[in-house]
Chain A
């Protein structure tokens, strides 16, 4: 067993954990982050990409709304390259309660969210595909944010300040010494061996999985995984974010993101945060509801659907509060748990709740408390220090195309949908790549309308040419990549997307003759704990 030592081990490689790592690093505290899979594969990679203005919480959750607008402004300053400045509208339909709109406007004012009322005509000039029946519209500073880009930038900053990151190192236990955790025991997925990380402090930033990490440390943390289903449409439809101006419900938001639009979202309490199954009825409901605002969605092409688990926390005193299965009633603010006072475990902190928009602030609050206990008095700098990459300015949809054209790289375009060049794939592979699937989060490879029909095996070829992939591994890795793309699709296969699915099948199974045994290897890999792709199965699965 190998071992290493650090002052703080951060458990969880989502935005929260990474933000904590960066905050610690900027305060000069040596820290190591461990993540069970690749970075950003949990809730941080399974959401709609909305940089909240806070408007969605303005009526019911002022604290969350205030956090959102504060952090919205901070992120625009420190991470503009991860943000598309979309703007957002809240639209009031004839079936909605006008009184809600009044509460919305006053709630925004109370939380400090700039809001501007638009006439229906002005709203439709701004969003031509809006239904012509709206009563009113309110503009707020919503945006789009690319969480993987944000994670990469925060990691780069943290590493530049001495922090270390160990992806694919799930925590398997803690070494306890009296009332302290003396070390974190992790398993290196690549080599299979266990490693012991000696530390003074542990931060549990595992989000929806915080309860599971807490259990390994012997402390009870009751999480309420709130599953949210989202539907990916094959084009953007809207220029900015479109929200329904009503009490949050299924299918009340459309977020344009890169080449697609994401419809959100349900909110259902589930037992297991790894339950990311999607019911086709939820997809239908989401499309039908969002089509009330943007009618052309109803005849549109849905590419896939996916679900994420909100990291909602149930404080002990709220244990009896009835949520009736709908987790929207649970506050979206965050909570820092100091397990010394709570559970008698002297050196463990957990951070639960919250949302991507507020990840930096969550980290700041946690590290402030932790620093006080550690005797570190360096103030937080994460709101002032801009992230690496920020000099590129804010993300624009046409940016990648301009880059491809200016750099005259079009000749080596590998993924046409997402404008990924062969050179970028080569660089990424050379920089260390465990799985073909990692290219998806690094480069957005395979996200577009063809869902990897033409890029997945080209990427496999690059890996092969650079000497990667074991003898049989390569085709199995390709099968895993395709399976990951596929598992979100079963609920959206109809119409054009049915043809696309069968074309992709005709390419990989028909022309390339990828066989079931490649897929079997993929399944064996997945059940080894690296990934939770096997958690998803369509309700009526018909195998050969």
Chain B
């Protein structure tokens, strides 16, 4: 098996990198252990929500205040803007329009009634909360409580009413997850039957908050249709994983990979690389029935940090990058991984691989360790995506930077071949 580029990891960074490299004409293979933060996130594009616990209003203006090894400082503001602009175009073309200005943060309503700072929101989550807000729960869906969400929104000064509407009869009446409920919303007759109750619950309100489960397979169409029927702007609130808006986006990523002829495999965890000098010649992974080796010119590691399985946190306090054995700064013992307070930042959340401006991993002396392996997304040192609210921004910015550096590397390769 061969590819120009093997991308390892199918979170936001790996998916963006694979699509963008393929759009640039490269033959790309994408392999991944499993799903990434499309499934586990809030369904928004976070760029920079907080610095030192304080909310950030204008993320692009605050990049200079970040540490020198922060991925945004490494790739530069231009790559971030490029990544966000490219994403807005990609999402719109896939029928998943996002709203927002990369220069300005906004609040995303959550199931707890908090307004989490984020930057770009899919249109179903983007309407402003103003005037009278109706929070509407769906009977039997335990991952969204109108009362709990309303309690939080009231605290931020909103005038809130609550209601819970009964669901029309459908196939999963006893036990259902958000994903199953979202599939029910794909059915037009389900929406038709639900709409009157929802409209009654939202009557008199200027906007209605519902859990983010309004449709799965048809992009934003089920939401737009339901909103039309109800006659009140509907806002999808972020709920606990799995993240339905992220699943919609994930489906769009996969469609795009197929369009571009990218071969992708999930359930293929990379286990190592074959090296020759400072170059990686092949990526080894577990295949369906036997180990597989994929020869390639270049590797993009987008395997994530400790949370994403890209880095293993060991019992002795050390940290291991799992595919290529890249150096990651560990701790004297494992108590260093975490803070005593659960909601505080945990040092292992910011652990990662240090890279140069071309995203190549570097050693202690700052020199690149491998010529044709680059890192993207949560695997990078210098940021804690959960605490600072930067996950999608870092993914898209580093993918943008990869495209630029790969172009340069490709030219070099061609020059070598010509020589």
Which residues of A come within 8 Å of B, CB atoms?
280, 284, 408, 410-414, 422, 453-454, 457-458, 460-462, 464-465, 469, 471-472, 474-475, 479, 482-483, 485-487, 489-491, 493-495, 498-499, 501-516, 518-519, 523, 536-544
Interface pick from B98-106, B334-342, B401-409: B334-342
Nearest opposing residue in chain A for B336, CB measure: A540
Considering only residues 78-137 of chain B, those with a C-beta below 8 Å from chain A are 110-112, 114-117
Q: Chain A residues near B37 (CB, 8 Å)?
A: 506
A452 to chain B, nearest CB (A): 10
Nearest opposing residue in chain B for A498, CB measure: B313
How far, in whole Å, are A410 and B140 apart by their CA atoms in the complex? 11
Contact A509 B238 (CB under 8 A): no
Contact A511 B42 (CB under 8 A): yes
With A413-B175, A519-B343 as given contacts, are A472 and B313 in contact (CB-CB < 8 Å)? no
Q: Chain B residues near A408 (CB, 8 Å)?
A: 174
Interface pick from B68-76, B145-153, B270-278, B291-299: B145-153
Q: Chain B residues near A518 (CB, 8 Å)?
A: 343
A231 to chain B, nearest CB (A): 12
Nearest opposing residue in chain A for B112, CB measure: A512
B221 to chain A, nearest CB (A): 25
Given contacts A506-B386, A510-B389, A512-B240, 19 further A-B contacts (CB under 8 A): A411-B174, A464-B147, A465-B148, A479-B343, A483-B343, A486-B341, A493-B337, A495-B313, A499-B307, A502-B307, A502-B349, A502-B386, A505-B349, A509-B343, A511-B110, A514-B112, A538-B340, A539-B335, A541-B339
Of the residues B143, B306, B343, B385, contact of A458 by C-beta under 8 Å: B143
Q: Chain B residues near A482 (CB, 8 Å)?
A: 342-343
Contact A513 B306 (CB under 8 A): no
Top 6 A-B pairs, shortest CB-CB distance = A461-B145, A486-B342, A411-B174, A502-B307, A513-B116, A498-B313
How far, in whole Å, are A475 and B40 apart by their CA atoms in the complex? 22
A283 to chain B, nearest CB (A): 9
Considering only residues 345-404 of chain B, those with a C-beta below 8 Å from chain A are 345-349, 385-387, 389, 391
Contact B342 A519 (CB under 8 A): yes
Considering only residues 40-61 of chain B, those with a C-beta below 8 Å from chain A are 40-42, 52-53
Nearest opposing residue in chain B for A482, CB measure: B342
Give the size of the chain B interface in residues (CB under 8 angstroms): 62
Of the residues A475, A485, A510, contact of B152 by C-beta under 8 Å: A475
Of the residues A412, A499, A513, contact of B142 by C-beta under 8 Å: A412
Considering only residues 1-50 of chain B, those with a C-beta below 8 Å from chain A are 37, 40-42
Contact A457 B343 (CB under 8 A): no
Is the CB of B315 closer than 8 A to any CB of chain A? yes
Contact A494 B313 (CB under 8 A): yes
Q: Chain B residues near A458 (CB, 8 Å)?
A: 142-143, 145
Q: Chain A residues near B151 (CB, 8 Å)?
A: 464, 469, 471, 474
Is the CB of B173 closer than 8 A to any CB of chain A? yes
Q: Chain A residues near B145 (CB, 8 Å)?
A: 458, 461-462, 464-465
Of the residues B52, B155, B338, contact of A544 by C-beta under 8 Å: B52
How far, in whole Å, are A103 and B155 apart by their CA atoms in the complex? 67
Contact B42 A541 (CB under 8 A): no
Contact A493 B240 (CB under 8 A): no
Is the CB of B256 closer than 8 A to any CB of chain A? no
Contact A460 B348 (CB under 8 A): no
Contact B344 A512 (CB under 8 A): no
Is the CB of B254 closer than 8 A to any CB of chain A? no
Considering only residues 259-299 of chain B, those with a C-beta below 8 Å from chain A are none
With A414-B142, A502-B348, A516-B53 as given contacts, are A457 and B337 in contact (CB-CB < 8 Å)? no
Contact B41 A510 (CB under 8 A): yes
Taking each of B112, B117, B347, B387, which has the highest tally of chain A beta carbons within 10 Å of its own beta carbon? B112
With A508-B342, A544-B387 as given contacts, are A513 and B114 in contact (CB-CB < 8 Å)? yes
Of the residues B41, B238, B306, contact of A499 by C-beta under 8 Å: B306
Contact B148 A505 (CB under 8 A): no
B156 to chain A, nearest CB (A): 11
